[in-house]
Amino acid sequence: MAAQPSPSTDAVPTDQPRHPVDEKLPLLKMTTSGLQHVAAMYAGVVAPPLIVGAAAGLSGTELTFLTGACLFTAGLATFLQTLGFWKIGARLPFVNGVTFAGVAPMTAIVASTKDRSDALPIIFGAVIVAGALGFVAAPFFSKAVRFFPPVVTGTVITLIGVSLLPVAFGWAQGPDPTADSYGSTTYLGLAAATLVIVLLLRRFTHGFVKQIAVLLGLVIGTLLAIPLGVTDFGPVAGADLIGFPTPFHFGAPRFQLAAILSLSVVMVVSMTESTADMLALGEIVGRPADERTIAAGLRADTLGSALSPLFNGFMCSAFAQNIGLVAMTRIRSRYVVATGGGFLVLMGLCPVAASLIAVVPRPVLGGAGVVLFGSVAASGIQTLVRAGLEKDNNVLIVAVSLAVGIIPITAPEFYHAFPQTAKIVLDSGISTGCVAAVVLNLLFNHLGRRQGDDEVTAPMEPGEEIAGQRGGAGSPAAGPSAVTAH
């Protein structure tokens, strides 16, 4: 029998997908799945411009313009990340948008500016410089991937999910924390109903319907909210049909050293979180993010940030919310997310389209968010299962890193006495937990490592002894959970 030719890259047509990440789905599935991603991250994109714009004293019309600009630039940044070109873009199913890490320093810049009309140009100038510096630093920053073994990545992925859950809980309580109705049984009941709908759809449906369960849950939840008087159609009635984000609408960028330093720190935080997000998503989609992928992804983040102020947008970063959607639906195609980026661009150009997403009540988003963000934490736990937690060293790494990472969640005022610049980093549980995990992994698993350090066991009950001290693995006293070194 003649020998069969060995497979080679030349023998495979270049237009055929080699991995689910590169798969192009049917149009209907691509469209609805892309809408799910937009729905999952919409609130996170529009919140920063609304907060910063209000602090800068913008009118309602200007606030709408700024929000549309941020949607438009989020779509462009998503194209860079998912489709990419040259060495730019991780080419993973990532949605990019305005990072919330910059809200506090941007509002601080507004407060320190004598003429508030100068605040946005100063912010835009600082974002441009921070983005350019980050773009140059991306290949060096990406070399940190070697310090992210499963014990670190699993911890960080878990922290991403845990850090996002309070956002869902806040949404579930209503749109206005200062209102008397905040946290009412109506809002919480609507969030619970949406959660139940998503769970029932995931449990009792199959195929395509099962995969778009979140989108269907958002639609059904919104319909349920109408007779309760929770759904607000005002944004649709007051929105324009067409609105292009005119370049430098708020004035030419201005470059102020203090603002540049402040947002450069935010860029470092954003790059740290994006690295963690890429590692998390790489695990979920089955295409682990290596050093080259991370460098390309960071270039997309930073280039998107540097270009964003041209269209009146803010600093961009990968959105962890959408990782949960990928984990739950198992739709791994980057073209689905690119389609979502197309919808973001469309909403930036068509305020009416943007307002349709804005109709979804916050409690409905909160109910769906519990599933999305909880899925991220569950993916992190799955990674930790493979991380060798039978070793005490790794247990300590996870335990302390998780504790450090949840400080901003459980004790928001813990770092109140620190300088504002330091709080930018410390108030990000993902960043502090990531740094703690990397440092502890180096300390326990690399520096000064001695022969026999692997002979450690899982946490024991009081009085329990290591199996080896009872006579080894072959001893009758050795229980099924006993672990010995080989």
Report the domain count for the chain. 1
pLDDT score for 210? 76
- The percent helix, strand, coil of the chain (3-state, each to 5) is 65, 0, 30
The verdict on residue 172 lying in a domain is yes
The letter for the amino acid at 167 is V
DSSP state of 277: H
Coil, strand or helix: which one is 97?
Answer: strand
Let me know if residue 398 belongs to a domain: no
Q: Please say if the pLDDT value at position 18 is more than 80.
A: no
First-to-final CA distance of the chain = 45
The first and second tokens of residue 183, run together, are: 């946290």
User: What is the pLDDT, as a whole number, of residue 125?
Assistant: 93
Assigned token pair, 412: 């928001």
Highest-scoring range by mean pLDDT, 42-46, 194-198, 201-205: 194-198
C-beta atoms surrounding 234 within 10 Å? 11
pLDDT tens for 94-147 read 888 887 767 767 877 887 787 777 889 999 999 999 999 999 999 888 887 677
- Whether residue 9 is contained in a domain is answered as no
Q: Work out the average pLDDT over 198-214.
A: 81
Q: Is residue 400 part of a domain?
A: no
Residue 295 within any structural domain of the chain? yes
- The pLDDT > 90 percentage for the chain reads 14
pLDDT number for residue 453 = 55
pLDDT tens-digit readout, 256-286: 887 888 788 778 777 877 887 888 888 888 8
Can you give the length of the chain in residues? 486
Rounded to 10 degrees, what is the CA torsion of 322, 323, 328, 330? 100
Distance CA 93, CA 74 (A): 14
Q: Is residue 372 part of a domain?
A: yes
Given a cut of 50, whether residue 459 has pLDDT beyond it is no
Is pLDDT at 303 greater than 90 in this prediction?
A: yes
**Whole-angstrom distance, CA of residue 3 vs CA of residue 422:** 65
Q: 26 Cβ partners below 8 Å, 6+ apart?
A: none
Strands, E, within 10-78: which ranges?
A: none
Q: How many CB atoms lie under 10 A from the CB of residue 196?
A: 13
Tell me which residue range forms the domain holding 60.
19-381
**Are the C-beta atoms of 471 and 477 separated by less than 8 Å?**
yes
Helix (H, G, I), strand (E, B), or coil: what is residue 473?
Answer: coil
Q: Domain for residue 102, yes or no?
A: yes
pLDDT in tens, 469-481: 434 434 333 333 3
**How far from 258 is each of 54, 103, 255, CA to CA, in Å?**
22, 16, 9
* Secondary structure class of 317 (helix, strand, coil): strand
Collapsing DSSP states into helix, strand and coil, what is residue 318?
A: strand
Q: pTM here?
A: 0.65
Residue 255 three-state SS: coil
Task: Say if residue 377's pLDDT is above 90.
Answer: no
CA atoms within 13 A on the CB side of 381: 8
Q: What burial letters (b/e) apply to 444-481, b meaning 16+ CB within 10 Å?
A: bbeeeeeeeeeebbeeeeeeeeebbeeeeeeeeebeee
Q: How far apart are CA 167 and CA 321, in angstroms?
A: 10
Question: Are the C-beta atoms of 284 and 379 separated by less than 8 Å?
Answer: yes
> What does the pLDDT look like over 87-103, one tens digit per residue?
888 888 888 888 776 77
DSSP 3-state assignment of 98? strand
Assign 6 a pLDDT band (cuts: 50, 70, 90).
very low
Measured distance CA(290)–CA(309) in Å, rounded:
30
pLDDT tens-digit profile of 165-179? 887 898 899 888 888
Asked if 396 and 444 count as a contact pair (C-beta separation under 8 A), the reply is yes
